[in-house]
Structure 1
Amino acid sequence: MAAVNAPSGYSLVADIGGTNTRVALAKGQVLQQGSIKRFRNADFPGLETILRTYLEGEGIAACAGACVAAAGPVHDGVATMTNLDWTIDKPMLTRATGAGTAAILNDLQAQGHAIGHLAPDVLRPVIAAHGEANAPGPNAAKLVIGVGTGFNLAAVYDTAQGRLVTPSESGHASLPARTEEDLRLCTYLETIHGFPSVEDAISGRGLERIYDWLGQEAGDPAEKSAADIMAGANEGSDARGVKAVATFTRLLGSVAGNMALIHLPFGGIYLVGGVSRAFAPHFAAHGFTEAFRDKGRFAGFMQNFDVTVIEDDYAALTGCAHHLAALMDGAGAL
């Protein structure tokens, strides 16, 4: 592509994680095949340099629009990365891309904007709803739960004014305790961090903490990386790893069930993130569904909710493209 001075017909979308940033071009709502590039954040002083480097490589001087998804809270149009010392705002985004329209989303918001726009082969059913309620309408609320390096969620509402995806920082809420064992885990996490948050247990590093806690309980402390714990559990060669995976699965099911009662997502719950994908094969064996529905007299009501794992690394980019296209078309996406 030859560089141009006026905005091209392409928009830029990016998914900024704590370690890597993915950048791509979109034409309207459609990601351009072959345009997705990954950049290691540690190799750059900030996002602006990454975006300029990407556009220079694509031979594009200016974009029609730009939308980025950031792994951190977004407040008044400014994103503060949770696990990276970067702050991202619209003036910088416009300066780096030349875009006439710029938007900044929380990463879970971007995932929410992708719901309904993903190929069926990246959707892995976990729980099928079979309650007595009528089939949900197309505008029924949905919920995206992200489990990866951290934990967070976003509720999705389709309204007459456009799609609204509400941000949150739910991973930093208190971890619920259902059993005596859960209370001991909370006490352990509080001793380490001063506060037992959901993310301290239900995340990649949370799995490592559960494993360490089980070692402390057994009087045989040992540390392992999340990848090694999963490998041992998958092979069946590490009994403690299997128990850590089972504990994690039960806690995730319980928290997801709590969130379902708070948001009533009759349109479905979608689990995203690398840890969600890694745990999906273990859900049936370790009681995810049972923990999700373990809500006393509301156990039957919990059968109204579908749960699906999204197995698409680029869903956030798709969500950015759809959100940006709606903004540029004046459709009022929020």
Structure 2
Amino acid sequence: MKRGPERGGRLVADIGGTNTRIALYQLTDDRLRAIKRYRNCDFNGLEAVLSHWLDEHPEARPRDACIAVAAPPEGDCAHMSNCNWSFRGSELAARFNWDRVGLINDFQANAFALPWLQPGDWYEIHPGTARYARMATLGPGTGLGGAVLDTGSEPHRAIACEPGHMALAPQGLQELELWRVLMHEHSRIYSELLLSGPGLQRLYQALATVDGVVAEPLCGEEISARALAGSDALCAATLRRFCSLLGTASADFILASGAFGGLYLAGGILPSFPGFLQDSEFHQRFTDRGPMQGHLQRMPVRVITHPQPGLLGAAHAPLG
């Protein structure tokens, strides 16, 4: 009797607030195979997405799974705030006949990917010379996520953080005016409110109000595209301010976590304009911290350009 394909490899998934990416990782050749991206709004839950991927790839018979999710997993359970999904790892393991399953935060996955990135997998904003064992990853997308990676022992330890909910302070009179406008609609100004895809829209609308002009109903991608093309002064000002505020939020995150070994910027927004970010006031705002300036100036700062850092990190994350 002909035998079916043997089980092996690890199913890896990176579940953001908007999209889900799934692949099969094979340790034997250290490769991600059968990478697919799905829009979350097209499915009623993660189980439906996984079933669809497995139906598309009947040859894949993963033994284990590691699922990175844009939420802080609570043991075996994940509840997503930017997407109305909830699931349990144990129930998915039983449903799909996996021996082991791990749930990690999506930026934990980005952190686990850091040691596996090659020089061609990032755009260098600042070279840096720091040699610390703790590194950080931070990035705007549907929200603003972050994590730190301790590399001082084996296995490496990635710690999920929530920098998107840290308070964001204005700097200078223009930003004080901007905050005055924002506080008419928001009782608290926190990082994710402005440093995300929806946040870019809020920033655009608020800057229009400050300047006394009428803003067009643009989405974040349209604002970025016009700014990069140089075709819209308000969009360009919005993206420059976005980069400046990101420098402030990044410094706050590094100083709070002590991750002076390097900052790796990720998420779904920044890889489309790393050169613009480098030419902006991002790094000036990042290092402008008085007695801590030297520590921050010595840090390498890079934008991750690897197409699938979340899947790469999920492939190498320990399952326990």
**TM-score normalised by length of structure 2:** 0.92
> Which of 242, 252, 260 in structure 1 is aligned with 2:246?
252
Q: Any conservation in 1 of the 2:25–2:33 contact (CA below 8 Å)?
A: no
Where do 5+ consecutive residues of structure 2 fail to align? none
| 1:200 maps to 2:199 | no
TM-aligned CA distance change 1:159 to 1:302, over 3 Å: closer
TM-superposition CA deviations, 1:138-185 (whole Å, max 9, x none):
xx1000002112102101112435111111222012112222322333
Task: Find the residue that maps to 1:237 and give its secondary structure.
Answer: coil
Q: Note if contact 2:201-2:218 (Cα within 8 Å) is conserved in structure 1.
A: yes
1:272 and 2:266 matched: yes
Percent of aligned positions with the same letter in both sequences?
A: 33
Asked if the contact 2:24/2:60 (under 8 Å) is kept, the reply is: no
Distance 2:58 2:74 in 1: 33
Does the C-alpha gap of structure 1 residues 129 and 242 become closer, same or farther in structure 2, counting only changes over 3 Å? same
Structure 2 residue identity aligned to 1:169: E
Are 1:220 and 2:219 matched, yes or no? no
Which residue in the other structure is 1:294 paired with? Answer: 288
Query: Residue 117 of structure 2 aligns with which residue?
Result: 118
Q: How far has the Cα of 1:301 moved from its partner? A: 2.9
Q: CA deviation at 1:67?
A: 0.7
Partner in structure 1 of residue 160 of structure 2: 167
Paired residue total = 318
Relative distance call for 1:96 and 1:121 in structure 2 (3 A) is: farther
Query: Cα deviations across residues 277-320 of structure 1 (Å, max 9, x unaligned)?
Result: 13411123322111111112332332121100001231100100
1:263 is displaced (CA, Å) by 2.2
- Structure 1: segments with no counterpart, 5+ residues: none
Residue in structure 2 matched with residue 240 of structure 1 by the alignment: 234
Q: Partner of 2:142: helix, strand, or coil?
A: coil
C-alpha separation between the residues in 1 aligned to 2:78 and 2:186? 25
Please give the alpha-carbon distance, in whole angstroms, between the structure 2 residues aligned to 1:29 and 1:202. Answer: 39
Matches within 5 A, 1:30-179: 32-60=31-59, 62-130=61-129, 136=131, 140-179=133-172
Letter in 1 for 2:148: A
Measure, in 1, the Cα distance between the counterparts of 2:54 and 2:3: 9
Displacement after TM superposition at 1:34 (Å)? 4.3
Indicate conservation of the 8 Å contact 1:24/1:31, yes or no.
no
Which stretch of structure 1 is more off in the superposition, 29-38 or 209-218? 29-38
One-letter amino acid of the structure 2 residue matched with residue 68 of structure 1: I
Cα contact 2:63–2:98 (8 A) shared by 1: yes
